[in-house]
Amino acid sequence: MQNIISRKTICLLFLMVTTFSFAKEEKHEGEGDIKTEIKEYINHHLLDSHDFSLYSYTTDSGEHKYVGFPLPVILWDNGLKVFSSSKFHHGESVAEVNGDYYTLYHNKIYKTDAQGSIDLDDHHHPTNTKPLDFSVTKNVFTIFLVGLLMFVMFSRMAKKYKTGSLPRGMGRFLEPIILYIRDDIAVPNIGVKKYKRYMPYLLTVFFFIWIINLLGLTPLGVNVTNNIAVTLALALITYFLTTFTANKNYWGHIFWMPGVPTPMKIILAPIELLGTIIKPFSLMIRLYANITAGHIVLMSIIGLMFIFKNWLGSSLSFGLAFALSLLELLVAALQAYIFTMLSALYFGMAVEEHHDEH
Amino acid sequence: MTIPNIVGAGLIVIGAGLGIGRIGGQAMDAIARQPEASGKIQTAMLIAAALIEGIGFAALFAA
């Protein structure tokens, strides 16, 4: 017990020392710059982008150098327009396509004039017209990549089972996970008779979210699941699958709840109907918010290293960042698991057979 | 972020923390009582925690 207390005191002391040195550092000139720089970097990281840049640096002559490759930009603006995002020079110049000018403002494409001027309204939102943007952005590119990876991985794995029932190679790692999803997620929630219909979706969504979350933790800097549009699409698939495969019993429970008095049935119907939308909505928000929060916290702690600039504070935040990365590894798998689990639960509700308890 | 927002966010975190903490604690109790049912308890615990977390995040976005 005493040991724990003394350890805690030491930790506290360390924390206090770093706070004091932090307070002292703050008075230095240029300290505000690095803070806003880190904040901007985090905000930039959370956005989708039109090119795949791994990192950037400034040369001694003050020139910005980017390491990465451009991605195609596809616009619908009085006709289809396809060009490479290298024309934007990372937002530093105006792209000219067949007499029309486009510019990047906070990673979004706006129509502009030859000077690239952006008009802002009172709320600092641009009033320039926005062309319809179907570009292959960083997120889209990553989704394609993960889709291709999963296709190759799993089709190769499936082929190996034709020659023998023993898994080989990648299958040795993935078979237990697939069996876990079948035996511990699909069967208990959906039921032995009907689980097979939903297995392809459950497996796909589990591995998709998991792999893409793990990719988000690599230095590639991709973060697909913290784009709310992606999680919206995933949640919508669950919603449509639930709605279109639901049986009579499910709709009966929504519109005319059996076993409750009639006035209660009238009150319950809109609530239950709302519930069908809230369920996928919470799926969307949960995945999005968890991954976004994780990325912000992790990057802020990494950013602390550059703010402290002393061996004590920086090494402490390095340790913290390391521990948090391990936690994020867990969260990546846990969020995939919870998404799959809750999807299975909703499918189970949709196909549940009539029973007499109600 | 204004002060009411920050206070609201703090309240949400307190509420969600209490809720998830209670779920975790009760699940520990249940596992201690019936170690053979630990798998099922863990699953139920994760689902309940995820539901609270979802509401917590929704409220955080509103705040």
Residue A353 pLDDT: 77
Most confidently predicted of A64-68, A118-122, B52-56:
B52-56
Better-predicted residue by pLDDT, A225 or A29: A225
Q: Which residues from chain A sit within 8 angstroms of residue B61, using beta carbons?
A: 285, 289
- Would the pLDDT of A133 be above 60? yes
Q: How confident is the model at residue A6 (pLDDT cuts 50, 70, 90)?
A: low
- Would the pLDDT of A242 be above 60? yes
Residue A355 pLDDT: 65
Q: Which residues from chain A sit within 8 angstroms of residue B53, using beta carbons?
A: 286, 290
Q: Determine, for residues B50 and A184 on separate chains, whether the beta-carbon distance falls below 8 Å.
A: no
Is the CATH number 1.20.1300.10 carried by domain B3-62?
no
Average of per-residue pLDDT across A147-157 = 90
User: pTM for the whole thing?
Assistant: 0.80
> Among A111-125, A186-200, A222-236, A297-311, which is the least confidently predicted range?
A111-125
Whether ipTM exceeds 0.90: no
Instruction: Tell me what the pLDDT averaged over chain A comes to.
Output: 80
CB within 8 Å of chain B, chain A residues 182-211: 184
In SS3 terms, chain A reads as CHHHHHHHHHHHHHHHHHHHHHHHHHCCCCHHHHHHHHHHHHHHHHCCCCEEEEEEEECCCCCEEEEEEECEEEEECCCEEEEEHHHHCCCCCCEEECCEEEEEECCEEEEECCCCCCCECCCCCECCCCCEECCCCHHHHHHHHHHHHHHHHHHHHHHHHHHCCCCCCHHHHHHHHHHHHHHHHHHHHHCCCCHHHHHHHHHHHHHHHHHHHHHHCCCCCCCCCCCHHHHHHHHHHHHHHHHHHCCHHHHHHHHCCCCCCHHHHHHHHHHHHHHHHHHHHHHHHHHHHHHHHHHHHHHHHHHHHHHHCCHHHHHHHHHHHHHHHHHHHHHHHHHHHHHHHHHHHHHHHHHCCCCCCC
Interface probe for B, chosen from A338, A343, A345 (most Cβ of B below 10 Å), is: A338
Average of per-residue pLDDT across A303-328 = 87
Average of per-residue pLDDT across A72-97 = 75
Beta bridge mates, A108:
A105
B11-33 pLDDT, tens digit per residue, is: 999 999 999 999 999 999 999 99
- Would the pLDDT of A109 be above 80? no
Residue A26 pLDDT: 41
Better-predicted residue by pLDDT, A143 or A45: A143
Across the interface, which of A285, A334, A345 has its CB nearest the CB of B54? A285
Q: Determine, for residues B46 and A338 on separate chains, whether the beta-carbon distance falls below 8 Å.
A: yes
Q: Determine, for residues A282 and B54 on separate chains, whether the beta-carbon distance falls below 8 Å.
A: yes
- Would the pLDDT of A344 be above 80? yes
Residue B1 pLDDT: 67
Q: Determine, for residues B61 and A342 on separate chains, whether the beta-carbon distance falls below 8 Å.
A: no
Q: Determine, for residues B61 and A285 on separate chains, whether the beta-carbon distance falls below 8 Å.
A: yes
Residue A22 pLDDT: 41
Judge whether B60 is closer than 8 Å to chain A, CB to CB: yes
**Mind telling me how many Å the CA of B30 is from chain A's nearest CA?**
20
CB within 8 Å of chain A, chain B residues 30-59: 39, 43, 46-47, 50-51, 53-55, 57-58
* Domain ranges, ordered by start, for chain A: 61-136, 139-351
Kindly state the percentage of chain A with pLDDT values over 90.
Answer: 18
Q: How many A-B residue pairs are in contact by the CB < 8 A criterion? A: 32
Residue A257 pLDDT: 79
Residue A204 pLDDT: 93
Better-predicted residue by pLDDT, A86 or A22: A86
- Would the pLDDT of A24 be above 50? no
Q: Determine, for residues B51 and A282 on separate chains, whether the beta-carbon distance falls below 8 Å.
A: yes
